[in-house]
Structure 1
Amino acid sequence: MMSNFDSMVTRQRKWMLYWLAILVLCAGFLPYTRIFLGLILGSSISLYNLWLLQYKSEKLGETISAGRKSRSGLGTFSRMAAAVLAVVIAMRFEEYFHLYAVIIGIVSSYLIMMIDFIVYQITMRNQKED
């Protein structure tokens, strides 16, 4: 049986991949290619950051539940460095990537996490009422 954490991780990664697929389709068929390429770059980094955060959170939980002290954090520096890398790429290749779209893409995983939390809470509340 899948734990709540595992099902949450799976849901969030699935929605990030759906989001990226929609962006790729939009970049291919709509005239705002530079904006959608920026969103794709930022969202790709955001997916990496989401994966890293989930991986580090799982390892931290395992360490604490085993009664050991954690020697590593949640990878905040790595996630910030990845976001800075995306911004540097967007600034270097300005003709391909829209900078503001990259920044919006970087925060897309956090938006998906919030939406997933809200939808999960609503479904849990509805299941308790039944």
Structure 2
Amino acid sequence: MLQFKTMFTRERKYIFYLLAVYVLGWGFTSYQSIFLGLILGTSLSLFNLWLLVKKIDQFGNVMEKGGKMRSLGMMSRMAAAIFAVMLAMEYPEYIHPISVVIGLMTAYIVIMIDSILQLFHSQK
């Protein structure tokens, strides 16, 4: 589990760096709706990643004790994504809907890139 938490800490740091870049883009460019959509989507993506890590930690504890767990919280993560898209559809002049969807996928892209980087570092 320690390796898993270390991986989450690293990925959270990468997502915070991306969010900082998005905030700078929102503040200093004329593409404010696109960057606001990326900020919203990426923030909820980070929240979903945190929920998943929390549920996996609970799952590991339950499995150590030999119990059963109902789910890993898919409905709450989907509800957060639906909320973000609904918000973007309600206010398209402020929040770009496509960039919200791209932002929602950010955590998964960061996970893949981090895994590839760790694979290359472990082979050296």
Shorter-normalised TM range? over 0.9
CA distance in 1, matches of 2:45, 2:17: 13
Q: How does 1:1-130 map to 2 (within 5 A)?
A: 3-70=2-69, 72-126=70-124
> Which piece of structure 1 moves more, 43-52 or 2-11?
2-11
In 2, Cα distance between the equivalents of 1:44 and 1:11? 16
1:94 is matched by which residue type in structure 2? P
Distance 1:106 1:12 in 2: 15
TM-score norm. by structure 2 comes to: 0.96
Identity %: 47
Offset of residue 66 of structure 1: 2.1
Deviation at 1:82, TM superposition (A): 0.4
How big is each residue's C-alpha offset from its partner over 1:53-80, in whole Å with a ceiling of 9 and x where there is no partner? 111011101111222222x311111101
Separation in 2, partners of 1:106, 1:73:
21
Query: Which stretches of structure 1, 4 residues or more, deviate above 6 A after TM superposition?
Result: none
Deviation at 1:31, TM superposition (A): 1.4
Specify the code of the residue in structure 2 equivalent to 1:24: V
- CA RMSD after TM alignment: 1.1
Normalised by the length of structure 1, the TM-score is: 0.91
Taking the aligned partners of 1:47 and 1:3, their CA distance within structure 2 comes to 20
Structure 1 runs not aligned, ≥5 long: none
For residue 105 of structure 1, what is the amino acid of its counterpart? G
Deviation at 1:24, TM superposition (A): 0.4
Offset, 1:18 = 1.0
